[in-house]
Amino acid sequence: MQSSRWSHFARLLLALVLVSPALTPGGGVAMAQQETQAQRQQTQPGNNAPVWREVRKEGQAHTTTAQGREAGVLIQTLGETWRELKNGWITPIAGWFFVAFAGAVWLFYLWRGPIMLRDKPTGRLIKRFTTVQRAAHWTMAISFCILAASGLIMMVGKYVLLPVIGYTLFSWLTQLGKNLHNFVGPVFALSMLTMIVLFVKDAVPRGHDLNWFLKGGGMLSGEHVPCGKMNAGQKMWFWGGVVVLSSIAAVTGLVMDFPNFDQVRSTMILMNIIHSVTAGLVMALSIYHIYMGTVGVEGAYAAMRHGYVDETYAKEHHEYWYQDVKSGKVEAESAKGTPEAPQAAHV
């Protein structure tokens, strides 16, 4: 009889334990959610949609062992907006702008051709750039080309290269480009600052720059338009392409390059958007600068490579600077018979 009483009591206690969650506030809902989730796991294994709907609530922090700002926010919903903006707008617009600008420069070359010297070189050379200036320029130029190539691979590579070279080679190339981009970025930033310090004096706007700008430097008409050591086009590239766009791209890139300074994810997303836009612009605009500094103007590449220009080049492209040099107003070393001189004079 006593054993029967204890058995009845045990069954009653067990029933209370099983029923008690449903009697507590929200307990019935919790049991229903558990039952629904259990059924979901049977019909849709791995589908934890209710859980992730709770996790992705904007600004809601959860428990995590990670340390740092926003460590408890497991999902940043702003990331979806960034993805749609970058893939739907920034990447295609930047990519097509780059292609359009490259095409425009190519058509200009086919129509105009390189700008050749009117008179024959004299063989008398004037030093245009110092060794330090050329070293800073080429450091910035080479690092810029590496950043541009790797940036284009990461930005538009999956639309252009992936269908051609396949997933294996593309993944290897993208990983290499990403590492190069991260390590070369600080080099570019330092060389850019050096370039600004070394060339800012020659880039100060002058009164004659307006006349050069209005006449387009004579590139369309063939008219000779005098200018200083830098023409108005070069000054526009210096202030717009180097000081403004390149500086913004460098700063935003460094913010993303060193996330250990405790930036929040929204800051990183904003930096990525600004970086993509400014880098896309400066890459496209640099095509014209590279063209003019290589095949576009006879003697321009040799000037930056060797540091010297022939007097004919100085007179025809930078007449005011040439006059200042000849009058002694501006110091510029003259050279004749140096190892670089014959190449600089006739390239």
What local confidence, expressed as pLDDT, does residue 29 receive? 47
**Burial class of residue 90 (count of CB atoms within 10 Å of its CB; 0-12, 13-18, 19+):** middle
Q: What does pTM read for this prediction?
A: 0.77
Report the run of H or E that residue 282 belongs to, with start and end.
helix 265-291
What local confidence, expressed as pLDDT, does residue 77 receive? 77
What local confidence, expressed as pLDDT, does residue 44 receive? 61
Alpha-carbon gap, residue 169 to 163, rounded angstroms: 11
What local confidence, expressed as pLDDT, does residue 63 receive? 65
**Which among 264, 274, 269, 208 is positioned nearest to 235, based on CA atoms?**
208
Residue 337 — pLDDT band, cuts 50, 70, 90? very low
What local confidence, expressed as pLDDT, does residue 295 receive? 93
| Largest Cα span, the chain | 128
Alpha-carbon gap, residue 230 to 213, rounded angstroms: 12
For the ranges 22-36, 88-102, 166-180, which has the lowest average pLDDT?
22-36
Question: How far is CA 153 from each of CA 44, 114, 146, 157, 226, rounded to the nearest angstrom?
Answer: 38, 30, 11, 4, 41
State residue 264 phi and psi, 5-degree precision: -80, 165
Helix (H, G, I), strand (E, B) or coil at 225: coil
What local confidence, expressed as pLDDT, does residue 75 receive? 73
Walk me through the domains of the chain, giving residue ranges and CATH numbers: 87-346 (1.20.950.20)
What local confidence, expressed as pLDDT, does residue 37 receive? 61
Instruction: List Cβ neighbours of 264 (8 Å cut-off, separation of 6 or more).
Output: 69, 70
What local confidence, expressed as pLDDT, does residue 76 receive? 73
